C-alpha cells in the first residue's frame, strides 16, 4: 500500500504581542510581549508545553497527515525535519505488531490514542528499526507517528502493521510475523520454540550476500518487503523481501516427520534468487531457540553420540540425518526433531547457548565445547556462501517438529527406539540411505550390569560395513542412559513395511525386545508412485508425468473425469517459460500436459516449481503426439493441497 503525500500549507499569524517566524522545515514561535501566550498550535511532542513565557521561543516540525491505513505494508518517504502520521482502527483484544523499517535513517515510532502518547520506540540493538507490540481491551483509533531520531535525517521507509500469522496441523501450531520470524507449539500448548505472548522473536534467520549478513531480528533489517507474510490456502505461510538485486522468499509449511511419519514437522524454507546481471555469493544461517515443553535449556540426542548438554559443532558427513531434542533425556514427555532431507544439510551444525549465539547475528558463532547449554539451549546452522548466477536460485531447507519413537518400560529399564518412518526416493536413490537406528536405554531401577543391545534386521535392510549387530554396554547405573546407534541401509529387495527390533539383555533381568517399522518404496517400479497427503511440498526427481487428485478423493481419477481446475507453474533455469496447461477432454482425446512456448527449448532447465493450489486431476508430462517437446527435468517440486500424487518415471507414460 502506497500513500501519497499531501501538500503543506503554512500561514504567518500576526498578534500584538506574538511574532511567528516560519522557517522550513522548522516553525518557531517567539513571545515578544509581557504576558503568557497560551494558544500554541497542538503538537504531541509539545503537548505538555501549553504556555509560552515572555521572551521565550518554541519550535515545532511540520507534519503530514497521510490518512487511514490497514494491516499490511505501507511504503512512504519521510522528509528531513518532518513527521508523518497515519490512523489505524484498532479492534479490542487483538495483539498487533507495528514495525517501522528504513535503511536510510534512524527511525522513531510513536503511537497515540485519544490525544495521549501511549507508547514509543527508537531502537535497541545493532541497527535503527523500530517496533511496538500493542494490545488493549478497548477498540479505538490509533494515531501512528513516523519520525526520525535526528531532525536532519529522512528517506524511504516501510510501515507494517500485522497480526500473528497462524497455520496449524492436527498436532502443531505455527506462528509467524511480518519479519519472517516464527515460533512453534503443540496444539495442547506445549512450546517447541521459545516465544513471549504469542510473539516470535528469539529465533531468527540470516541472509548472507557477498559476505554481508542481514537478519530478521527485531533490531535488524533483512530487506524491503515485496510480499507481506501471508497464509496461503490455509496451509502455508509465505513472505518475500528484496535486498539490492537479490529476491528473498520464505515459505513455512507442514511436512511429514522423518521419524514420526505424521504431518507434525515444519519445513523452514528460504530461497534466494539473483535478479542482477552479475553473480553474487549467497549463504544462509538459522538460529532456533529450542524450548521443549517447559524446558528452555532442553538437551539433545545425537545418533552415535548420545545425550548432549554442552556446546557442540558438527560439520560435513558428521551431521546426522536427524537430531532429537527433548524436555528430559532420561524421561522425555515431549520430543522434538531437526532433520534436513538429505541434500539440504548445512555445512555447520552447532548446539549453542542461546544468549551468546543471539548476540552475534552477523558473524559465525564460535562454540566453547565445555560450555553448558542447560540454562538456555539453541541450534545454530550455517550454509556457506556459494556463487549464484544471474537468474538462478538457491534454496535452504531445514525441518523441525515432533519426533517419533517406540517406547517399552519395565520396573528396571525404559527403552526407546527411533529411526526414519519411511524412506523417500530422490534422483532414483533412497533418501536417507544409509540411515540411523538409535536406542535409548535408561536405568530407572538398580544398577544393571553386563547390558547388551542386539539389533535384528529383516531381509531388505543391512548393516553398514564395520558396524556390529551386538553392542556391549557394560553397567548402566541408576538414572544413567546408554545410547547405542547403528548405521543401516535399505537394499530395495524386498520393499514395503520392514520390521526391525532391538533386544536388551542384562544380568538378572528379563530380556526386553522393542520393534519398529520402516517403509521402503520400490525404486525400480515403473508404475505410478502414490504420495498420499493433505498438503505437502516434495522433491520428486526426474519424471515425465504427475497427477494431482482433489482433496477427499480416494482412488486415482480417470481421464474421463471432468472436474479440472488449472494450475500455475514457474520454471527456473535456462529455457522458455511454461505458457499454458492443456486439460483432458471428457472424451479422453487430449492428454493433459504443461507445454513450453518454444518446443526447441534447451536442456539446461534445472527444475520446475509447480504450485498446485486446489488443483484437480492435472497431469504434467509430454504430449502423446510429441513426447520430445518437453525436456527431462532434473528436479520437480510439487506443492499444494491434494489427496494423492501419481508420478510416472521418465520415459514411462
Confidence of residue 619 (pLDDT cuts 50, 70, 90): very low
- Residue that the C-alpha cell 513426447 belongs to: 627
* pLDDT, greater one: 543 or 218: 218
- Residue that the C-alpha cell 520428486 belongs to: 540
State yes or no: pLDDT of 72 exceeds 50: yes
**What are the two backbone dihedrals, phi and then psi, of residue 355, each rounded to the nearest 5 degrees?**
-60, -35
CA-based nearest residue to 254, from 229, 234, 270, 228: 234
Tens digit of pLDDT for each residue in 125-134? 446 888 888 8
Set of cell numbers at residue 70 = 490497514
> CA-CA distance, 79 to 26, in Å (whole number)?
12
Give the per-residue pLDDT at 362.
Answer: 59
DSSP conformational letter for 318 = G
C-alpha distances in Å from residue 484, one per residue of 258, 302, 466, 649: 19, 11, 15, 38
Torsion of CA 210, 216, 217, 218, to 10 degrees: 130
- Reported as type and span, the H/E element at residue 358 is helix 354-358
- Three-class HEC string of 527-574: CCEEEECCCEEEECCCEEEEEEECCCCCCCCCCCCCCCECCEEEEEEC
Tens digit of pLDDT for each residue in 77-102? 999 999 999 999 998 877 788 889 88
Tens digit of pLDDT for each residue in 262-275? 889 999 999 999 99
Give the per-residue pLDDT at 244.
Answer: 87
Tens digit of pLDDT for each residue in 436-457? 999 989 888 888 999 999 999 9
Cβ pair 478, 496 in contact under 8 A: no
Q: What is the mean pLDDT of residues 230-253?
A: 89
- Reported as type and span, the H/E element at residue 278 is none
Cβ contacts of 277 within 8 Å, gap of 6 or more: 390
Q: Domains along the chain? A: 68-162 (2.60.120.380), 164-404 (2.70.98.40), 406-523 (2.60.40.1510), 529-649 (no CATH)
Give the per-residue pLDDT at 67.
Answer: 87
DSSP conformational letter for 41 = P
Give the per-residue pLDDT at 197.
Answer: 62
Strand partners, 231: 237
Q: What is the mean pLDDT of residues 537-554?
A: 38
State yes or no: pLDDT of 60 exceeds 60: no
Set of cell numbers at residue 267 = 519445513
Cβ pair 159, 99 in contact under 8 A: yes
CA-based nearest residue to 146, from 132, 136, 135, 134: 132
> CA-CA distance, 66 to 86, in Å (whole number)?
5
CA-based nearest residue to 209, from 103, 280, 127: 280
- 3-state secondary structure (DSSP) of residue 45: helix
State yes or no: pLDDT of 639 exceeds 90: no
Cβ contacts of 589 within 8 Å, gap of 6 or more: none
> CA-CA distance, 646 to 528, in Å (whole number)?
5
State yes or no: pLDDT of 636 exceeds 50: no
Of 139-143, 257-261, 283-287, minimum mean pLDDT range:
257-261
Give the per-residue pLDDT at 70.
Answer: 85
Confidence of residue 106 (pLDDT cuts 50, 70, 90): very high
Cβ contacts of 257 within 8 Å, gap of 6 or more: 264, 265, 337, 339, 399, 401, 402, 403, 404, 421
Cβ pair 206, 220 in contact under 8 A: no
> CA-CA distance, 364 to 214, in Å (whole number)?
13
- 3-state secondary structure (DSSP) of residue 316: helix
Tens digit of pLDDT for each residue in 171-206? 999 999 888 999 999 999 999 998 876 678 899 999
State yes or no: pLDDT of 313 exceeds 80: yes
Q: What is the mean pLDDT of residues 393-398?
A: 91
Cβ pair 423, 460 in contact under 8 A: no
Give the per-residue pLDDT at 207.
Answer: 95
Of the CA atoms within 13 Å of residue 173, those in its CB half-sphere come to 15
Give the per-residue pLDDT at 195.
Answer: 82
Tens digit of pLDDT for each residue in 343-369? 679 999 999 999 999 887 556 789 999
State yes or no: pLDDT of 494 exceeds 60: yes
**Angle 101-105-106 (CA atoms, 0-180°, nearest 5)?**
75
State yes or no: pLDDT of 579 exceeds 70: no
Q: What is the mean pLDDT of residues 420-448?
A: 86
Rg (CA), the chain: 30
> CA-CA distance, 6 to 209, in Å (whole number)?
38
> CA-CA distance, 444 to 545, in Å (whole number)?
54
Give the per-residue pLDDT at 531.
Answer: 38
- 450 CB burial (10 A radius; 0-12, 13-18, 19+): middle
Hey, which of 223-227, 454-458, 627-631 has the most confident mean pLDDT? 454-458
State yes or no: pLDDT of 1 exceeds 50: no
> CA-CA distance, 392 to 22, in Å (whole number)?
54
> CA-CA distance, 354 to 124, in Å (whole number)?
18
State yes or no: pLDDT of 576 exceeds 50: no
Amino acid at each position: 500500500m502506497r500513500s501519497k503525500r499531501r501538500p503543506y500549507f503554512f500561514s504567518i499569524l500576526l498578534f500584538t504581542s506574538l511574532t511567528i517566524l516560519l522557517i522550513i522545515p522548522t516553525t518557531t514561535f517567539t513571545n515578544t510581549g509581557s504576558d503568557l501566550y497560551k494558544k500554541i498550535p497542538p503538537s504531541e511532542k509539545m503537548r505538555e508545553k501549553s504556555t509560552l513565557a515572555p521572551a521565550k521561543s518554541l519550535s515545532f516540525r511540520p507534519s503530514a497527515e497521510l490518512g487511514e491505513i490497514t494491516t499490511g505494508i505501507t511504503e512512504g518517504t519521510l522528509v528531513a525535519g518532518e513527521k508523518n502520521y497515519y490512523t489505524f482502527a484498532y479492534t479490542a483484544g487483538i495483539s498487533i505488531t507495528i514495525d517501522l523499517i528504513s535503511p536510510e535513517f534512524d527511525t522513531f515510532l510513536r503511537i497515540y490514542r485519544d490525544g495521549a502518547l501511549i507508547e514509543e520506540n527508537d531502537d535497541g540493538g545493532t541497527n535503527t528499526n523500530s517496533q511496538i507490540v500493542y494490545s488493549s481491551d478497548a477498540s479505538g483509533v490509533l494515531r501512528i507517528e513516523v519520525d526520525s531520531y535526528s531532525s536532519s535525517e529522512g528517506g524511504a521507509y516501510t510501515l507494517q502493521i500485522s497480526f500473528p500469522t497462524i497455520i496449524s496441523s492436527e498436532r502443531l501450531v505455527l506462528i509467524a510475523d511480518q519479519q519472517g520470524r516464527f515460533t512453534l507449539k503443540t496444539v495442547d500448548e506445549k512450546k517447541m520454540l521459545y516465544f513471549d505472548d504469542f510473539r516470535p522473536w528469539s529465533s531468527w534467520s540470516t541472509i548472507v550476500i557477498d559476505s554481508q549478513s542481514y537478519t530478521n531480528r527485531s533490531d535488524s533489517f533483512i530487506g524491503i518487503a515485496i510480499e507481506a507474510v501471508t497464509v496461503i490456502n490455509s496451509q502455508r505461510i509465505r513472505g518475500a523481501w528484496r535486498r539490492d538485486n537479490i529476491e528473498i522468499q520464505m515459505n513455512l509449511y507442514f511436512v511429514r516427520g522423518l521419524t514420526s511419519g505424521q504431518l507434525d514437522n515444519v519445513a523452514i524454507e528460504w530461497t534466494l534468487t539473483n535478479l542482477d546481471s552479475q553473480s553474487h555469493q549467497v549463504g544462509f544461517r538459522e538460529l532456533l531457540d529450542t524450548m521443549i515443553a517447559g524446558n528452555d535449556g532442553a538437551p539433545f540426542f545425537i545418533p552415535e553420540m548420545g545425550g548432549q548438554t554442552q556446546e557442540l559443532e558438527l560439520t560435513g558427513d558428521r551431521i546426522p540425518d536427524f537430531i532429537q531434542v527433548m524436555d528430559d533425556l532420561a524421561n522425555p514427555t515431549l520430543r522434538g526433531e531437526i532433520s534436513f532431507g538429505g541434500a539440504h544439510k548445512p555445512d555447520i551444525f552447532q548446539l549453542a547457548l542461546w544468549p551468546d549465539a543471539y548476540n552475534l547475528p552477523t558473524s559465525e558463532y564460535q562454540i566453547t565445547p565445555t560450555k553448558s547449554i542447560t540454562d538456555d539451549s539453541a541450534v545454530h546452522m550455517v550454509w556457506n556462501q556459494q556463487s549464484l548466477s544471474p537468474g538462478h536460485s538457491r534454496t535452504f531447507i531445514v525441518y523441525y517438529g515432533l519426533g517419533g519413537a517406540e517406547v517399552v518400560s519395565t520396573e528396571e529399564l525404559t527403552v526407546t527406539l527411533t529411526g526414519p518412518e519411511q524412506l523417500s526416493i530422490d534422483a532414483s536413490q533412497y533418501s536417507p540411505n544409509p540411515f540411523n537406528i538409535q536406542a535409548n536405554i535408561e536405568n530407572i531401577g538398580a544398577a544393571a550390569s553386563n547390558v547388551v543391545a542386539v539389533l535384528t534386521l529383516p531381509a531388505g535392510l543391512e548393516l553398514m560395513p564395520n558396524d556390529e549387530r551386538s553392542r556391549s554396554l557394560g553397567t548402566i547405573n541408576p538414572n544413567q542412559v546408554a545410547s547405542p546407534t547403528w548405521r543401516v541401509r535399505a537394499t530395495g529387495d524386498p520393499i514395503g513395511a520392514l520390521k526391525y527390533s532391538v533386544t536388551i539383555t542384562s544380568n538378572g533381568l528379563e530380556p526386553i525386545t522393542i520393534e519398529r517399522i520402516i517403509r521402503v518404496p520400490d525404486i525400480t517400479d515403473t508404475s505410478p508412485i502414490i504420495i498420499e497427503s493433505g498438503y505437502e511440498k516434495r522433491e520428486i526427481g526426474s519424471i515425465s508425468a504427475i497427477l494431482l487428485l482433489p482433496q477427499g478423493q480416494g482412488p486415482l481419477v480417470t481421464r474421463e473425469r471432468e472436474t479440472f481446475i488449472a494450475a500455475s507453474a514457474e520454471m527456473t533455469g535456462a529455457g522458455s517459460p511454461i505458457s499454458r496447461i492443456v486439460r483432458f477432454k471428457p472424451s479422453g482425446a487430449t492428454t493433459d500436459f504443461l507445454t513450453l512456448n518454444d518446443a526447441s527449448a534447451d536442456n539446461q532447465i534445472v527444475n520446475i516449481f509447480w504450485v498446485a493450489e486446489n488443483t484437480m486431476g492435472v497431469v504434467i508430462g509430454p504430449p502423446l503426439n510429441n513426447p520430445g517437446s518437453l525436456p527431462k527435468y532434473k528436479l520437480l517440486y510439487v506443492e499444494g493441497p491434494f489427496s494423492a500424487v501419481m508420478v510416472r518415471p521418465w520415459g514411462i507414460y
